[in-house]
Amino acid sequence: MHSPLGQLLQQGLASRGLTVEVLSDRTKIPKSNIQLLLGEDDGGILPARTYLRGHLTVIAKELGLSVPEVLAALEVSHPAPPQKELIVERRLPAVTIAVAAGLGGIAILAVVIAFASALG
């Protein structure tokens, strides 16, 4: 059974009377990628999502299909993996770090002076 995307693309191929080979020649998209999108080959790996969307846009235009409809079928047939949460590292300004280091140095110097005074 074909996915919604595969069914849509099969209908487009049939309505234009094209084969996968001809579509591949016209669009310069590898035949193996087209077969994967049609659901004819389960063993392959689809290209990165950006390339996949580009391939489908070209294929949809060549087959006279609605690009938004084809891309929506992609989301149903091959949902995008959840995106990882970005962790934003907050950095202190260099001036703040310099002031903190200076104050730390003064504190250490004060301890050394106090210790030397106590011994002296």
pLDDT exceeds 80 at position 55: yes
The mean per-residue pLDDT over the stretch 90-104 comes to 84
Compute the chain's Rg from CA coordinates.
31
What is the C-alpha to C-alpha distance for residues 104 and 4, in angstroms, rounded to an integer? 65
Residues 6+ apart with CB under 8 A from 60: 12, 66, 67, 69, 70, 71
Question: Do 15 and 63 touch, CB atoms closer than 8 A?
Answer: yes
> Counting Cβ atoms within 10 Å, is residue 64 exposed (0-12), middle (13-18) or buried (19+)?
exposed
Q: In which band, very low, low, confident or very high, does the pLDDT at 72 lie, cut at 50, 70 and 90?
A: very high
Q: In which band, very low, low, confident or very high, does the pLDDT at 48 lie, cut at 50, 70 and 90?
A: confident
pLDDT exceeds 70 at position 1: no
Q: In which band, very low, low, confident or very high, does the pLDDT at 71 lie, cut at 50, 70 and 90?
A: very high
For residue 39, give the DSSP letter: T
For residue 64, give the DSSP letter: T
4-77 is classed CATH 1.10.260.40: yes
Question: 6-20, 33-47, 82-96 — which is least confidently predicted?
Answer: 82-96
> Counting Cβ atoms within 10 Å, is residue 16 exposed (0-12), middle (13-18) or buried (19+)?
middle
Task: Specify the residue for token string 């409809």.
Answer: 69
What is the C-alpha to C-alpha distance for residues 74 and 53, in angstroms, rounded to an integer? 8
Query: Could you report the per-residue pLDDT of 23-47, keeping only the tens digit for each?
Result: 999 999 999 999 989 988 777 788 8
